[in-house]
Structure 1
Amino acid sequence: MSHAVSLLRAARLARSAKPFLARGGSLRARCAGCRLVPSHCLCALRPAVPTQAGMCLLMADTEPLKPSNTGWLVADVVADTFAFGWARTEVDPALLALLADPQWQACVVFPGEYAAPGRAVQSAVPPAPGRRPLFILLDGTWAEARKMFGKSPYLAHLPVLSLQPEQASRYQLRRSRRDDHFCTSEVAALCLALAGEQAAAQALQAWLDVFTHHYLQARNQLPVAWDGPAHQRLRAVSALP
């Protein structure tokens, strides 16, 4: 199934002069649906959870190409996920059209300490009647995300949702210099919870846990624990109404 991030990845690959090789990766064949080697494919486990909220991913140049990118997981679970490549000097007209679409009430998710006074909020603003929440996530390294936040004037009029998570990140596939950093799918799950979509939030977090298990097992050439804790949690939340 193609979704916004997979389509953005395909477009980015079409512009590449040479194959993208992830750090420590290889040129082994990967599943087009989950980016894992076929022996560790998890496409059959993808949860289907209805959501009212939408997600808009602004992605740094190579993020769609990285097998460890978790924005892909957001698009797996949240049907109304939009993905755009970010560039300092230009903006996709489709992104501007999305931000102007009256069905959406958008906010940028970013630490409030970087927002102008009065712009940051710490809870999701209830959408006006007839509108749905749209969470804009800046998907890249910390340095890339800060650049996107500061150099995207078309976002400057939007409120900034400053999350205050109580738990630590469980993300294991990349390291961050900051202890308070969360991967993109964790941020999306927190947003869904704030929007009152607990079932979708739990499904997305469980999907991340299963993806992490498959990814690490494949990297270490170990078999998948199909009845392990991560898979059990995913089965439990997938059965929720």
Structure 2
Amino acid sequence: MSDKPGHAVNRLREEAVARSTRPFKARGARVQRCPGCQLARWACICAQRPTLDCGVSFCLIMHAYEPLKPTNTGRLIADCLPDTRAFVWARTEVDPELLALLENPRYQPYVVFPGEYALPDQPVHRVVEPEAGRRPLLIILDATWTQARKMFRKSPYLASLPLLSLHTERLSRYRLRRSSRDDHLCTVEVAAACLALAGEERAAEQLDDYFELFSQGYMDSCRRRPQ
């Protein structure tokens, strides 16, 4: 087991726990979890977590409950990719640090969302093609699909940003929560697909492998107790 990494998603989790008046009761709440990977302590995979070096950054805009869920896969992105930011979404307030990030000329932001939801005059891209000297910043709404659509509609600061519309034939391998559609990828699967689209195939493969390791470890944690 490793010490808890101090990345953006874990900081949101710590802040949410500090604000809460009642403990968040996730499924399997009695399991003694590693504070890093959120698997059962005996199934910890922190020692196998890769640190990926690539030319893409991520920004997670998370539904308020997501940082607290041990099944959340946005955390896996922050585990592996150091330049990952995370913010909790609110309908009436916007974190000033998020707005500053979106306006930072160092980055070329894209909102990863289906092109059919684009607003009038909102550019839709199929590939990652940042302007010269700007680093791609891929913004992912980390929530259920129903929540993500609401977040997209009610976030006017995203309306002027280009969309990155993914088209992939892969089916989701996410087994930790129920979904009505197999083509709805979970957050870390979206990130891996984006990396591949940006030409970062090696990083995409390593992130995908770590997700598979996490998924298997979580299922094992649910199925059996340590010997």
In the superposition, the TM-score normalised over structure 2's length comes to 0.94
What are the superposed Cα offsets for residues 143-178 of structure 1, whole Å, 9 maximum, x if unpaired? 110011000001100011110012111111111123
Question: Which among 13, 17, 21 is matched to residue 13 of structure 1?
Answer: 17
Counterpart of 1:40 in structure 2 is 43
SS at match of 2:31: coil
Q: How far apart are the structure 2 equivalents of 1:201 and 1:114?
A: 26
Which structure 2 residue ranges, 5 or more long, are not aligned?
Answer: none
| Alpha-carbon distance, 1:203 to partner | 0.6
Work out whether residues 76 and 211 of structure 2, in 8 Å CA contact, stay in contact via their aligned partners in 1. Answer: yes
| 1:120 and 1:162 in contact (8 A); partners too | no
Amino acid at match of 2:12: L
Query: Residue 145 in 1 paired to residue 148 in 2?
Result: yes
What letter corresponds to residue 60 of structure 1 in structure 2?
A: H
Selected match of 2:88 from 81, 85, 89 = 85
1:209 aligns with 212
* Equivalent in the alignment of 2:28: 25
Structure 1 runs of 4+ off > 4 angstroms?
none
Q: Give CA deviations for 1:23-81 in whole Å, capped at 9, x if unaligned.
A: x3223321111111210111000012201100000000110000000000011111110
Following superposition of structure 1 onto structure 2, how do residues 1-241 of structure 1 map, counting pairs within 5 Å?
Answer: 1-22=5-26, 24-221=27-224
Whole-angstrom distance in 2 between the partners of 1:138 and 1:221 = 33
CA RMSD of aligned residues (A): 1.5
The amino acid that maps onto 1:88 is: R
Q: 1:10 to 1:114 in 2, by over 3 A?
A: same
- Tell me the amino acid that sits aligned with residue 207 of structure 2: L
Letter in structure 2 aligned against 1:133 = P
**Residues 223, 170 of structure 1: alpha-carbon distance in 2 compared, 3 angstrom cutoff:** farther
Contact 1:107 1:160 in 2 (8 A): yes
Counterpart amino acid of residue 20 in structure 1:
F
For 2:46, the aligned partner's letter is C
2: CA distance between counterparts of 1:125 and 1:73?
22
**Alignment check: 8 A CA contact 2:123 2:161 kept:** no
Q: What amino acid maps onto 1:157 in structure 2? A: S
Between 124-133 and 71-80, the greater mean CA deviation after superposition: 124-133
User: How many angstroms apart in 2 are the aligned matches of 1:120 and 1:72?
Assistant: 28
Residue type at the aligned position of 1:7: R
Q: Which amino acid aligns with 1:26?
A: A
8 Å contact from structure 1 (residues 47, 203) kept in 2: yes
Cα distance in 1 between the residues matched to 2:222 and 2:182: 24
Task: Give 1:111 shift.
Answer: 1.1
Is this contact kept in 1: 2:57–2:84, CA < 8 A? yes
State the secondary structure of the residue aligned to 2:100. Answer: helix
User: What is the CA–CA distance in structure 2 between the aligned matches of 1:133 and 1:147, rounded to whole Å?
Assistant: 25
Unaligned runs of 5+ in 1: 225-241
> Is the CA contact 1:49–1:199 (under 8 Å) kept in the aligned structure 2?
no
Contact 1:21 1:27 in 2 (8 A): no
Determine the C-alpha separation between the residues in 2 that align with 1:125 and 1:140: 23
